[in-house]
Structures are given as C-alpha cells and as structure tokens.
C-alpha cells in the first residue's frame, strides 16, 4: 500500500507591505523572524523585496517562488500588500499555509495599488483554499487604510480563521505575540 508523505511546515516566509524600506527594522517583521527562528526545526526568511514601493505582482510572485522558495512546507505571512501577494501566490502554488495580516480585496481606488496588478481580476477563493492546509487572518476594525468590509470579504472568501481586533490599526507595532502563537499552533498541529 502507498502511504502519502506527511508534510510539515519547515519554513516561514514573511512578505512585507509595500514601502517597508529595510524590512528587518520595519514594523514587527524582524522581531517575528527572531521569534520563529527559535522554534526547533523552523527557518524564517525575511528579505527586502524588489520593487518595494509598488509591489508589483509580476515581480513579487516570481521572487517568492525563485528566491524565497515558497513551497508545500512553507507558511507565508503576508502583511498588507504582502497579504495580497500571498493570496495571489496561493492561487497558483501549493503552500502549507498563509497567515494574512491587514488583507484586502480591491485597489481601494488608489493608483499605486492599481499598478501593483493584484486587483485586476476576481480572487480565486476556492483555489487558494485547495492549495493551503491552513489559512489564518488578522484584521482590525480601526485600520486607517483598510475598511473592515474589505478585510471581512477576505475572511468570508477564504473561510479563514479570523482574529478580529478593534484597536490594532494596520498592525504596524514592533512586536506581534498573537502571530507567534498562531505560527506555533500551525507548526505543532496535525498534518
């Protein structure tokens, strides 16, 4: 009898929001990387992205594949534009899971967001669900950039495990303990 290989996550990749500058020192990214790298048998990658201001899908998705090597053993943490990149990536690639922080579904009538290319077609929610074993989302109703309706649409479309806050804004703090707890549950959970 043939038995399927048990797949476990071995890597976490943080995909930042656009305009992040040096990502190691921006928001919670560097702090989360250090915390995840302390989890046994886990590696966390955080790199400055090409095209950091516009975050074009045509540049970021190939970078995630060829440079960050996101695969079936990878959990992608995407923040803001990085969440859009993670969702588009999961439309065409199998990954262990995606953790979306401040995710949204439209260009918000913003020219830079429109140029990114993520929002020029419908989201393939079912395909993303099929390609991910775990989908978790963090959102806050007081996000100054994203209406709650956009964040809720992501949660509804993906059937995400939603962590809803009222006081976290766009999650630009320097630490993110709840995110570490979620990653630990994903890593330690059943295959």
Report the side by side order of strands in the sheet with 43-46. 43-46, 11-15, 74-79, 95-101, 132-140, 161-165
Q: What is the dihedral of CA 131, 137, 31, 21, to 10 degrees?
A: 80
Question: Measured in whole angstroms, how far is the alpha carbon of residue 156 from the centre of its chain?
Answer: 16
Q: Please identify which of the residues 80, 102, 116, 140 carries the catalytic annotation.
A: 80
Distance, CA of 96 to CA of 6 (rounded, Å): 12
Distance, CA of 26 to CA of 13 (rounded, Å): 15
Distance, CA of 143 to CA of 129 (rounded, Å): 25
- Rounded to 5°, the CA angle 136-70-129 comes to 40
Q: At how many degrees (to 10) do helices 57-66 and 81-92 cross? A: 60
Q: Please identify which of the residues 81, 102, 163, 170 carries the catalytic annotation.
A: 170
80 a catalytic residue: yes
DSSP 189: S
143 a catalytic residue: yes
149 a catalytic residue: no
Q: Please identify which of the residues 81, 116, 140, 143 carries the catalytic annotation.
A: 143
What are the catalytic residues?
A: 80, 143, 170
């Amino acid at each position: 009898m043939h038995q399927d290989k048990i797949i476990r996550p071995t890597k976490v990749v943080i995909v930042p929001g656009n305009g992040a500058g040096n990502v190691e020192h921006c928001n919670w990214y560097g702090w989360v990387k250090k915390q995840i790298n302390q989890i046994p048998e886990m590696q966390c990658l955080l790199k400055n992205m090409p095209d950091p201001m516009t975050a074009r899908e045509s540049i970021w998705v190939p970078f995630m594949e060829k440079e960050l090597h996101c695969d079936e053993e990878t959990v992608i943490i995407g923040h803001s534009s990085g969440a859009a990149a993670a969702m588009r990536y999961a439309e065409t690639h199998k990954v262990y899971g995606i953790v979306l922080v401040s995710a949204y579904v439209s260009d918000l009538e913003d020219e830079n967001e429109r140029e990114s290319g993520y929002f020029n077609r419908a989201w393939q929610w079912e395909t993303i669900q099929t390609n991910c074993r775990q989908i978790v989302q963090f959102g806050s109703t007081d996000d100054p950039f994203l209406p709650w309706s956009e964040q809720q649409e992501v949660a509804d479309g993906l059937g995400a495990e939603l962590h809803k806050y009222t006081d976290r804004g766009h999650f630009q703090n320097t630490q993110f303990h709840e995110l570490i707890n979620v990653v630990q549950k994903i890593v330690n959970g059943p295959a």
